[in-house]
Amino acid sequence: MLTMNGLSGLLDALDASPWGATTGRARREAAASRRPLYTPEERLRRDATPWTLVQGVLAPIQFAVFLVSLGLVLNFLMTGQGLAVATASVVVKTGLLYTIMVTGCVWEKVVFGRYLFAPAFFWEDVFSMLVLALHTAYLAAVLTGFGDGQGQMLLALAAYAAYVVNAAQFLLKLRAARLDEARSHTGLAA
């Protein structure tokens, strides 16, 4: 009986194409040669530090606050009612963002030896700076009275859109880390 691995090996043996994509060879080679997200030492430090748990608790709390706040912001933009509660919700969301950013920097220092822009999380950190800048711009607008409520809430929506992209980046990294660990456990068992 021909298994998937056997079929894959047969296709690779018969593949005379200079383009590995014709049989999926390029994708398998890229996956095999990709550096894991964590080295074994980094994984040990990640698992040993309490900052991993802090991040794991703060992230879903921040997301829940984001969802509530998004509803309040959209309600204000549609009805013109509830500016104060929408503003308070964005301020709370921003406070949580600052908290998760600071604790995330400490986590990154413990795991990777640097507070920001570790190679494994470089692009997530770059985009996090945009998220932080937009949330900070919102706070500055509210504190200085710059713009009206609608303009401030539109700025909050821009900050929230960037946050959603950044959250997706981190979820993809979490998935990649889990796949790496599954591969390493499979490799150890073989």
First to last CA, the chain: 21
Look up residue 104 and give its two tokens. Answer: 């995330």
pLDDT for 121-177, tens place per residue? 898 999 999 999 999 999 999 999 999 999 999 999 999 999 999 999 888 888 887
* pLDDT of 87 above 70: yes
Length of the chain as a residue count: 190
For the purposes of burial, counting CB atoms within 10 Å of the CB of 4, is it exposed (0-12), middle (13-18) or buried (19 or more)? exposed
Q: Where are the domains of the chain?
A: 40-189
Side-chain half-sphere CA neighbours of 128 within 13 A:
18
Residue 82 confidence class, pLDDT cut points 50, 70, 90: very high
When mean pLDDT is compared across 11-25, 29-43, 70-84, the lowest value belongs to 11-25
Range of 16-20, 47-51, 68-72, 173-177 with top mean pLDDT:
68-72
pLDDT for 45-67, tens place per residue? 999 999 999 999 999 999 999 99
Look up residue 190 and give its two tokens. Answer: 């073989």
